[in-house]
Amino acid sequence: MRAIRFHSFGGPETLQLDTVPVPEPGADEVLVKIYASGVNHLDIWLRTGARPSIETPHAPGSEVAGEIVQAGAAVRNVAVGQRVAISPWAFCGVCEFCLRGEESLCVDGHIIGTAPNQGGYAEYIAVPASIAVSIPDSLTYDDAAALTLAAITSWHMLYRRTRVQPGEWVLVQAAGSGVGVYAVQIARFLGARVIATAGSNEKLNRARELGADATINYSEQDVASAVKDITNGRGVDVVFEHVGEATWEQSIRSLARNGRLVTCGATTGRGGKVDIGLLYTRQQSLLGSMGGNRLDLQQVLSLADRGILNPVLDTVFPLAEAQEAHRRMAARAQFGKMLLHPTE
């Protein structure tokens, strides 16, 4: 089969189209023919060597939708011919967190496409049958792949971690990103008022179309001051963070009393200061979040099936053009999810 792999850590040019064996599914695994594969910031971190334990050559890719073409002897929950999205967390099933249904906290878990397994930048992938989730008939493979990791990450952050309440203010940083486009929609669905930030007015207009009540152009305005203006000096109840060092200080300054900041990433750097005095006197919370669970994926697909959550697609590239997709992501040119089509 064809697969895109990086052969050393470095720039987009390290991604090469290779011919590799089709993986053989184990007794509790399924072989999935991939029709749509999401491109994620995680893929870029792996490619640039942020996780040096990964052995090269390696095919990244954590957001997979496709058809089951082979099932191991012990597989009971899904069958050959079924359309499935792959929940991005492979988990052990027996640790204390798995027993609670918190698979993304598994002590022996990993995200699909990170070591040790090869990911979704390929024509086929073998995965545990337990993480294959049925795709509703109303959704395409592109829809499902566009939701798989990005939407469950946003859902997990806003619905489970911060428990956004009706009437609250939510600030979504970098609302045009893969996770941002879902954060705007989910916060609205939960009844919040949404302030979206982006680096261009075109992206801000699209964020308004997705449901943002107010927008801030972070390349022209001081975000925390603009938030204070919009909220009559109060600040927001929840900040949706994933940008990291570049926005951290503005995000903290935007928080209202009793506000909570939730983050799922540090794209621009891991450093970030916290004024402990302000943190406790204002009784604020800092929360981490990473990916989501199978239940999150089922709920997100159900919301999309009912038209509540709209998959937001940016560009679809043939598998062989993965380098272009990575360049587009690095340039922050996209609005929503970029996909690869391994069948093209």
x/- letters, 106..145, toward Zn ion (CB under 5 A): x---------------------------------------
* Long-range CB pairs of 274-282, under 8 A, 24+ apart, other chains included: 278/252, 282/255, 282/256, 282/257, 282/258
Half-sphere exposure of 97 (CA within 13 A, CB side): 14
Q: Identify the CA nearest to 221 among candidates 244, 241, 259, 247.
A: 247
- When the beta carbons of 97 and 189 are compared against Zn ion, the nearer one is 97
Looking only at residues 46 through 75 of this chain, which bind Zn ion when binding is defined by CB under 5 A?
A: none
C-alpha to C-alpha distance for 115 and 110, rounded to whole angstroms? 8
- When the beta carbons of 89 and 182 are compared against Zn ion, the nearer one is 89
* 27 class by beta-carbon count within 10 Å (0-12 exposed, 13-18 middle, 19+ buried): exposed
Element (H, E) at 175: none
Looking only at residues 277 through 306 of this chain, which bind Zn ion when binding is defined by CB under 5 A?
A: none
Q: How many CB atoms are closer than 10 A to CB 163?
A: 11
Q: How far is the CB of 142 from Zn ion (least distance, A)?
A: 31
- When the beta carbons of 129 and 216 are compared against Zn ion, the nearer one is 129
- When the beta carbons of 109 and 113 are compared against Zn ion, the nearer one is 109
Looking only at residues 185 through 224 of this chain, which bind Zn ion when binding is defined by CB under 5 A?
A: none
Q: How far is the CB of 131 from Zn ion (least distance, A)?
A: 12
Q: How far is the CB of 93 from Zn ion (least distance, A)?
A: 6
75 contacts: CB under 8 Å, gap ≥ 6: 27, 28, 29, 30, 129
Q: How far is the CB of 251 from Zn ion (least distance, A)?
A: 31
134 forms bridges with which residues in the sheet?
84
Q: How far is the CB of 56 from Zn ion (least distance, A)?
A: 28
- When the beta carbons of 93 and 269 are compared against Zn ion, the nearer one is 93
Q: Are 183 and 177 in contact (CB under 8 A)?
A: no
- When the beta carbons of 107 and 308 are compared against Zn ion, the nearer one is 107
Q: How far is the CB of 90 from Zn ion (least distance, A)?
A: 10
Looking only at residues 73 through 112 of this chain, which bind Zn ion when binding is defined by CB under 5 A?
A: 91-92, 95, 98, 106
User: How many residues line the site for Zn ion (CB under 5 A)?
Assistant: 5
Q: Are 42 and 101 in contact (CB under 8 A)?
A: no
Instruction: Report the interface residues with Zn ion, using CB under 5 A.
Output: 91-92, 95, 98, 106
